[in-house]
Amino acid sequence: AQKVTQAQTEISVVEKEDVTLDCVYETRDTTYYLFWYKQPPSGELVFLIRRNSFDEQNEISGRYSWNFQKSTSSFNFTITASQVVDSAVYFCALSDRAGGFKTIFGAGTRLFVKA
C-alpha cells in the first residue's frame, strides 16, 4: 500500500535552533519519487526537493538538508539555524506506479519558529 507518515504534528523551536522533520513512507515499488513541499501561512504549497529511489545521496541546499534512507523507508528534512520565515507546514509526498501514478501527501508537520 502507498502511505506517507509524518508523525510530528507540530514542532516549536526558538530561532537559530536546528530542527528535523520526519517522514516515513510505504510503497511496493522499487522505483518511486519522494518530495517535500512547504506551505507558508499564505497557503500556496511550494516545491522544495525531489528524490528518486535510486539516489540515496544526502542533499544540502543552504540551511536545508535531506537524509534519505531506504533501509528505514525514511526521508527526513533538517533545517539548520532556523529562522522565523521557516514557520510553515511542511509536507512529505510519495509518487509511484503502484499507486496509479498518483502523489499522496502526508498529514504535514507544522513548524513554529519563535524569535
The residue ranges that bind another protein (CB under 8 A) are: 4, 33, 35, 37, 42-47, 50, 52, 91, 93, 95-97, 100-108
Residue 30 to residue 98: CA distance in whole angstroms: 10
CA distances (Å), 68 to each of 49, 58, 74, 114, in order? Answer: 12, 6, 6, 28
DSSP state of 73: T
In the complex, what is the shortest distance from the CB of residue 81 to another protein, in angstroms, rounded to a whole number?
A: 26
Q: Which is nearer to another protein, 2 or 76 (CB)?
A: 2
Whether 95 and 33 have beta carbons less than 8 Å apart is answered as: yes
Q: How far is the CB of 66 from another protein (least distance, A)?
A: 14
Nearer to another protein, 4 or 113 (CB): 4
